[in-house]
Structures are given as C-alpha cells and as structure tokens.
Amino acid sequence: DGALLDRVAASKGWASRTKAEYRTTFSKLAEWWISTHRSTRPMRFGDLDRQTLAEFLDWRFANAGGKNAGRTHNKSVEQLSCLLRWGMHEDRSFIDALPRLPDEKDQRDDAGICFFTEDEINRIYWATYRIKSPRGWPTSVPLGAYLRCALVFFYNLGLDTQSLFAYDRDARERAIKRADIFLDARQPPSRQMPLESEHGWIWWTRNKTQKEFERPLNREMAGHVAVILGDDPDRDTLLMSTHGMLAGTHRPNQLFHRLCKLAKIEPKIDRLTREPRQWNLKDLRKTCGAYQEAADYSPAADMLGHSDSKVTYGHYVSGNIRASRALLRQHQPAAFRSIWDDTIVPPGQLFAK
C-alpha cells in the first residue's frame, strides 16, 4: 500500500521519480492480486511466495505492451527483490526468508548509444541564434543565450535533462540554481580537492540520485554562464530561468528537435530496427560520455555519476570505445612494423648459414 511504499522510500532515500516507478509495480501487483484471487483483502508480505511471484511476473510480461516487455519484467523482478530484502532486514515479522525469484527474461539492453560529432555540435550551437524569444520574455538577454549555455554545460558535464530544464515540479528543488555557480572561487567550494580552477566551480546535487557533484568550470562554460548570471541577480532561482520564467518551456526536447531541424542534423538510426529516430537532449549526455571515454580524460562513469558501470556501458557509452582506444595505442613488436617500415630488417644471424 501507499504507507508501506512511503516507509521503504524514506529508508532508502529514493528520489520522487524512483518512488513513482516502484509505485507503478506495486499498483500492478495489487491489480493482479485482486483480479486473480477475486479478493478485496490487501496482499501481505507472507503472500509473496515463489509461486505467487512467478505467476505475477509472467502476467506482467504478457501484459507489458510496447517493444521491450523483457525489460518491464526484469525491472519488476529487481523492484520486488528490493522490497523483499527491505522487509526481511527491517522487521522479521514481515518475512523470514527470501523466496527464489524467477530468472530474468531477454530484453533490449541499451537505449541507443549515439553521440553527436563536433561538426553537429557546432551547427546546433549556431542554430540557437535563430530561436526567437517567446512572447512576454522578461529580459533583453535572448532565449538563445540560455540555450547556448545549456548546450555547453550538457557537452562538458554530461548533465541529465532535468538538472537544467526542470520541467517536472518535483525536480526543481534539485535542479541547478544560480547559487550553485562560483565564478570567483579558485578553490573548490567544498574544499575536498587540492585543485584550483581559474574560471570557477559548479557544485550541485543531482535530482535522480541525490548525489553531490563538484566540477571546475573551463573558460567556455564560465563565459557562457556569466552572460545569464548577469541577467537575473536572484541567486535562488533556477539557472535556466529568468525573472520567474523558464528558459526552454516545459517540453525542452521539443525545442531541441527544432534546433536539430534548423541545424539540419540527420536523424539517428536505431541499432536494432535500423529506423530513423529523433535526437533528444539525453543524447548530449551520451556525447559527453563518449568523448570523455575516447580521450581517456576519465572513465565516463565518473563524469556521468553512475555508481554501477553497467549502466554507463549499457545505456550511455559503447564498451567498444575503451577496447578500440587500447588497440590503437597498443605497442607493436618491431618485426610487425617491417610491413611498412623498410628500415627494419631481421638480425643477420637468423639467416647465417
């Protein structure tokens, strides 16, 4: 029930979006229980035996809809497992031992790992100058200046969409605010790193995981953000807003689709279906991860903030990048290089009679 979910969420420190995902699974479980057992009695922890779980998960898989029912099934397995572990460790009166959960089903393991080329990023940047500020825009700094700043931040920091464009009201408490920018600070504000940055720092908390991130600003980020910081002196407002008005509307991906159209960016191709698909702001996060990984600046998981690298390499960055980079840098024996270097010859004693 709702009270139980609230208890689990509070003890786990879940973000609102995570809690909503679990609520969906719990609602489906209640729906299945009532329809299958024709009973209005609420389901209890003791009812979650192996057979019951298997029957529910088979029903969930059969009624998932969409093109990735396996992922829906496996997500339900993961969430029910979390619930059962919580029940066992929180209070033995809930459950004495974990029942064995069914095996996972085949699923589509990635959400499309694509990235923008440097030329495409440049074209999107220049396209922001063609975006007109909406009616009632409260400042002389155009909407395009905000979009350019967002593009530079997405590319360099690998931000998720709602860290900047907090169109979800629950996300606005954790979205990046003007107060999270420290242009005049050379030392990191937290004083946790013995580093200096000539152009300042950004220090924010990611909404989805509630983890803190602290990163130095480079010259490009500092220059773009300085333009919009001077536009609204209220430090407590969202970075991507001005005088109470959001920059980018409540549907930022639709605005990004316009930018891609203006920049004449070709649609990306779905890896499995080979069908064209629209680019989204999330692809800028993947672009950051791809370039970080390819340049060996740092593992992409560190920049993107993933605690499990399986998420990084399953959904954001191709695992082929690291292997390909290693292959290109791998030292080759001199004899191998003789195929293109005529100065490399075999030692004379190998052919001595």
The secondary structure of 84-112 as a DSSP string is HHHHHHH-TTT-SSPPPPPPPPP----S-
Q: What is the pLDDT of residue 32?
A: 83
Please state the rounded mean pLDDT for residues 1-24: 77
Q: Is 310's pLDDT higher than 80? A: no
Please state the rounded mean pLDDT for residues 269-285: 82
**Across 18-22, 46-50, 75-79, 198-202, least confident range:** 46-50
Q: What is the largest CA-CA distance in the chain?
A: 95
Q: Is 168's pLDDT higher than 70? A: no
Among 52-61, 114-123, 326-335, name the most confident range. 114-123
Please state the rounded mean pLDDT for residues 245-268: 87
What are the tens digits of pLDDT across the range 56-88? Answer: 888 888 887 766 777 787 888 888 887 777 766
Q: Is 258's pLDDT higher than 70? A: yes
Q: What is the pLDDT of residue 318?
A: 47
Among 137-146, 191-200, 241-250, 279-288, name the most confident range. 137-146
pTM to 2 decimals? 0.64
Residue 124 token pair: 């999107």
> C-alpha distances in angstroms, 80 versus 23, 57, 98?
11, 10, 11
* Percent of the residues in the chain that have a pLDDT greater than 70, as a whole number: 70
Q: Is 40's pLDDT higher than 50? A: yes
Q: Which residues 6+ apart lie within 8 Å of 239 measured at CB?
A: 149, 164, 175, 176, 177, 178, 180, 181, 225, 228
On average, the pLDDT of the chain sits at 77
Q: Which residues 6+ apart lie within 8 Å of 228 measured at CB?
A: 141, 145, 146, 149, 239, 242
What are the tens digits of pLDDT across the range 118-147? Answer: 899 999 999 999 999 988 899 999 999 999
Q: What is the pLDDT of residue 339?
A: 66
Among 61-75, 209-223, 327-341, name the most confident range. 209-223
Q: What is the pLDDT of residue 110?
A: 47
**Across 60-69, 87-96, 187-196, least confident range:** 87-96
Q: Is 111's pLDDT higher than 70? A: no
Q: What is the pLDDT of residue 127?
A: 93
Q: Is 245's pLDDT higher than 90? A: no
* Percent of the residues in the chain that have a pLDDT greater than 90, as a whole number: 16
Q: What is the pLDDT of residue 8?
A: 79
Which of 254 and 344 is assigned the larger pLDDT?
254
Which of 227 and 289 is assigned the larger pLDDT?
227
Q: What is the pLDDT of residue 172?
A: 64
Neighbours of 245 (CB within 10 A): 16
Q: Is 107's pLDDT higher than 60? A: no
3-class DSSP assignment, residue 134 = coil
Instruction: Compute the distance between CA of residue 220 and CA of residue 217 in angstroms, rounded to an integer.
Output: 8
Q: Is 97's pLDDT higher than 60? A: no
